[in-house]
Chain A
């Protein structure tokens, strides 16, 4: 990877994978999302040490250690906060934030909304499987209200959260839906999200074959979005609220100016700050 003798050697997806073996169940959608992330990074030829992958807690939040990039595996629900701090302090890095629906929409829901409106130049990839997998099968914010489980017998009775519409309402400037079963298309959407200046939100339908085996059927339902992406948030919201939930592609791409740190020049000396205290 650090072969100085051949500086023109192209990086391949394999260059972005670590030797650590994932803990995921066989057939988990997250394997292909990991693969899509590495393909996207290879397509952009970003040096792995200039990319940081930040996550919280959950099955999908294990992704950072499975990449050959810098990784940060923090506490549950706060991945976007850690990623925001990293990107604002180190704007030279490419920062991907990854996680699941519980981490991002439940315990981290407040950070999700504020990351959308703050519009820091991050790419947020949520592997949504409508279930808490790591704790073995409880309802998440995106779980259907009638899904029977041990913690909520007969279902939660609560309507599910619509992350894409929430993201639009909160001001996200790039909104896409992907399907883990199609790693090439997912890689393409992730690459577009990385290139997009500002906060890019990519919701990936990533089946949990262990606790939601019926999600194996998703591959029969997904289809490319029938219309081109719009830069009109109201139109995008209407489409998303009325589609079948399986429209895949870029659903909204706006052009809001990304967050800029109120960072002045460094010409001022630290000792110069004393002037205001001086008598």
Chain B
């Protein structure tokens, strides 16, 4: 077995009944889907429900899912709420609220129901589609739109919000505060929708609770400071925290919100965002700005990253720090623009011509989008190299209630600032061959140290050269500065506190980390203990640190969300993995589910029991 691929067919994804018991989940949680045609207000209702849950002291997240249409089409807000922080969706949904059924059947694979689920639809719409009815879920028809119509000026989605909030036992005061805080129209409209909200709450009181009658776990009072934030916002804020003051970018789904958040935020702190004519321009603009001494960033998705590759090579050769956040979506080509996939990894780690060392990082959660983007900027600046941050649609466009990330810097790390040169340094050479490989950079405006930054191979002074010895010297220097840097402990999250003595490790990266962590915990509850290694720094590959992380490990299982097992193949090429490495890889856009991963981990470990006994 070299690749152990589990490729569930559509029907398999609904197989939560065969999954480990819910009690194995790390904490009680409730999952809610609000679906309907685009424009029916499902995203607003979902966002307000999440906000109200936050006000009630809960944690949770909301994932956005929509079809390819700009307006109209189908839309679903997928929520999961719990008394503790969450980074992943659950296997199935306890409650589905359908504003209407137009094309909502397209979510059949995403909104998995069980016999204990509750589905509420509008009694004036067509009945529940067979794809949902076949789950055996309880179905309740209510005249949602008629009830809203009876309150002039109110919207059916606010009535639905009241219904959902009531069924989840979220206090009326929290729901009302969320609605009031978001309201930007006249008071008459607010009063009408507050009335609709209360009507929904009253209707919910008549309905038997969700999740087989179990109420949402009692909310703990909030401790410390908590945030409501999306991964795109967190990445943008992390960039500003690290000193980014210039952004040039071209709009692209699902990265646009990162840019739309940064535009006004940058202006507030003395920076600026420029909308470029295309991605070729945006990446070259940030290279120009960074050459000028201003930490710079762009954000894009796979198609934009593809256009940027030539210039990323320029940033390697001319040693100009830049950061590119790639909010990954389904690929190749235009692919599935509004849905998630981890398909750009191979491209990010190897997609440049020539020998071109670059940094590639990936956040491990919505909250971690902040710290990882901040670190990416610091590394790019310190190493005068391009850094690619692999976020994705799941993290970027989802909103989560998180504990405020600590400000703490990694004090063990070397300097995170750009090394510059003072004025009038005699015999200044921009690309001097230093021990660390990092050479002091002259910032335009500094007298006596002028130079020309060049994408042509050059000698130490920056003069173009096609001589073998200059080429080798600069190739060595550019590789050495990334390979010899002390990255500290942040390169990976290694979680083995509860699995001491286990000789098995699951390796993953990016947005699926939360799901993998949950599966590892469920497997542990079933007596199968494995170490979790979630990579944050993907390139350069760090064989020595990896060897430490894998100390005592005899077999690894690589988990990722793409079709080609890209992380698995990359690690097999770069790292001396023990035993017979196994792979779990499934493409987007369906999220990996904790139950399928738990089953896969348990099966993987049970399958090797004879081997262990043999040894």
Binding site for B on A (CB under 8 A): 1-2, 20, 47-50, 52, 54, 64-65, 68-75, 77-78, 81-90, 92-93, 110-111, 113-114, 261-266, 268-270, 272-274, 277-279
Contacts and interface: CB of A to CB of B under 8 A. Distances in A.
A84 B294 CA distance: 13
Given A75-B310, A262-B272, A270 B284 contact: no
Contact of B452 (A1, A72, A75, A266): A72
A90 B450 contact: no
Interface stretch (B71-79, B198-206, B453-461): B453-461
A111 B281 contact: yes
A262 B263 contact: yes
B292 A114 contact: no
A65 B55 contact: no
Nearest to A72: B453
14 contacts: A49-B448, A65-B454, A73-B453, A77-B280, A78-B311, A82-B288, A85-B285, A85-B290, A88-B246, A88-B274, A90-B289, A93-B444, A264-B267, A270-B241
Contact of A277 (B229, B278, B286): B229
B191 interface: no
Contacts of A268: 268-269
B265 interface: yes
Given A114-B281, A264-B268, A278-B227, A72 B288 contact: yes
B271 interface: yes
B507 interface: no
Q: 3 nearest interchain CB pairs?
A: A71-B452, A85-B285, A85-B288
A266 B270 contact: yes
B297 to A, nearest CB: 12
A64 B452 CA distance: 7
B314 A110 contact: no
B5 to A, nearest CB: 39
B424 A261 contact: no
A56 B241 CA distance: 32
B interface residue count range (under 10 / 10 to 19 / 20 to 34 / 35 or more) = 35 or more
B13 to A, nearest CB: 33
Nearest to B280: A78
Nearest to A47: B447
B273 interface: yes
B445 A81 contact: no
Contacts of B228: 277, 279
A259 to B, nearest CB: 9
B246 A71 contact: no
Q: Is the interface of B mostly helix, strand, loop or mixed?
A: mixed
Given A85-B288, A272-B268, A78 B455 contact: no
B450 A82 contact: no
Contacts of B290: 85, 89
Interface of B: 54-55, 222, 225-229, 233, 237, 240-241, 245-246, 248, 263, 265-274, 276-278, 280-282, 284-294, 296, 310-311, 313-314, 318, 401, 404, 424, 442, 444-456, 462-464
Given A88-B246, A262-B273, 20 more contacts: A49-B450, A65-B463, A71-B454, A72-B291, A73-B454, A74-B455, A75-B310, A81-B285, A84-B285, A85-B284, A85-B296, A88-B272, A89-B272, A90-B289, A90-B292, A90-B444, A111-B280, A263-B272, A266-B269, A269-B269
A49 B445 contact: yes
A140 B404 CA distance: 56
A77 B401 CA distance: 45
A90 B464 contact: no
B54 to A, nearest CB: 5
- Of B281, B288, B442, most buried by chain A (CB within 10 Å of CB) is B288
A71 B430 CA distance: 12
A49 B313 CA distance: 26
Contacts of A71: 450-454
Nearest to A97: B288
Contacts of A262: 263, 267, 272-273
Contacts of B288: 54, 72, 74, 81-87, 89
Contacts of A272: 268
- Of A92, A113, A268, A279, most buried by chain B (CB within 10 Å of CB) is A279
A195 B450 CA distance: 23
Contact of A85 (B54, B289, B445, B463): B289
Contacts of A270: 240-241, 269
A134 to B, nearest CB: 12
Contact of B222 (A1, A83, A265, A279): A279
